[in-house]
Structure 1
Amino acid sequence: MRARVPTPRSSQLSKPQSEAKHPPRPYKLRRFYLPSEVAVHSTKDDCWVSFFNQVFDLTRLLQENYTSDLCDPIVLSAGKDITHWFDPQTREPKTFVDPAKNITTVYSPLGPYLHLTPPEPDSAFNQILFTIPWWKDAQKYCIGSLTIKPRKIRLINMLTKHEDVLEVASEETINEILDRYIEQNSHSSSYTWKRLGRELNMDKNLAQNDIPDETQELLELGIDVDDYIPAIHLYFDDDLTIA
Structure 2
Amino acid sequence: MRRQKYFTPTEVSLHNTLKDIWVSYLGKVYDLTPLLEENKGDVLLKPIIECAGKDISHWFDPKTKDILTHVDLMTGCIKYYTPRGRFLHIPPPCPRTDWANDFGKPWWKDNRYEVGLLSAKTRWIRIINTLTAQEQRLEVCSEETLDEILQRYLCYNSHAASYTWKHNGVNLDMSKTLSENGIPEEDEFYCGSPECNLFSPSICLYFNDDLTEL
Q: TM-score, normalised by structure 2?
A: 0.89
How many angstroms does 1:100 deviate by? 3.2
Instruction: Determine the structure 2 residue equivalent to 1:51.
Output: 25
- Give me the whole-angstrom Cα distance separating, in 2, the residues matched to 1:104 and 1:156: 57
**Equivalent of residue 94 in structure 1, options 68, 75, 83:** 68
- In the TM superposition, 1:88-237 aligns within 5 A as 88-128=62-102, 130-138=103-111, 140-213=112-185, 218-219=187-188, 223-225=189-191, 226=196, 227-237=198-208
- In the TM superposition, 1:54-65 aligns within 5 A as 54-65=28-39
1:174-207 per-residue CA deviation (whole Å, 9 max, x = no partner) reads 1111110111112211110001111111111111
1:140-194 per-residue CA deviation (whole Å, 9 max, x = no partner) reads 1100000010111111111111211111111111111111011111221111000
Contact 1:104/1:119 (CA < 8 Å) preserved in 2? no
RMSD: 1.8
Aligned pair count? 204
Q: Secondary structure at the match of 2:91?
A: coil
**Letter of the aligned partner of 2:26 in structure 1?**
F
Matched, 1:38 2:12: yes
- Give me the whole-angstrom Cα distance separating, in 2, the residues matched to 1:203 and 1:93: 37
Flag as ranges the 4+ runs of structure 1 deviating above 3 A.
Answer: none
- Give me the whole-angstrom Cα distance separating, in 1, the residues matched to 2:168 and 2:129: 14
- Give me the whole-angstrom Cα distance separating, in 2, the residues matched to 1:108 and 1:186: 46
Percent of aligned positions that are identical: 47
Contact 1:153/1:230 (CA < 8 Å) preserved in 2? yes
More strand by percentage: 2
1:69-123 per-residue CA deviation (whole Å, 9 max, x = no partner) reads 1111111111000000111211111111222343322111221111112342122
| Alignment gaps of 5+ in structure 2 | none
- Give me the whole-angstrom Cα distance separating, in 1, the residues matched to 2:62 and 2:13: 23
Contact 1:103/1:119 (CA < 8 Å) preserved in 2? no
**Letter of the aligned partner of 2:6 in structure 1?**
F
**Letter of the aligned partner of 1:135 in structure 2?**
W
- Give me the whole-angstrom Cα distance separating, in 2, the residues matched to 1:184 and 1:62: 33
- Give me the whole-angstrom Cα distance separating, in 2, the residues matched to 1:197 and 1:236: 14
- Give me the whole-angstrom Cα distance separating, in 2, the residues matched to 1:198 and 1:124: 66
**Letter of the aligned partner of 2:50 in structure 1?**
L
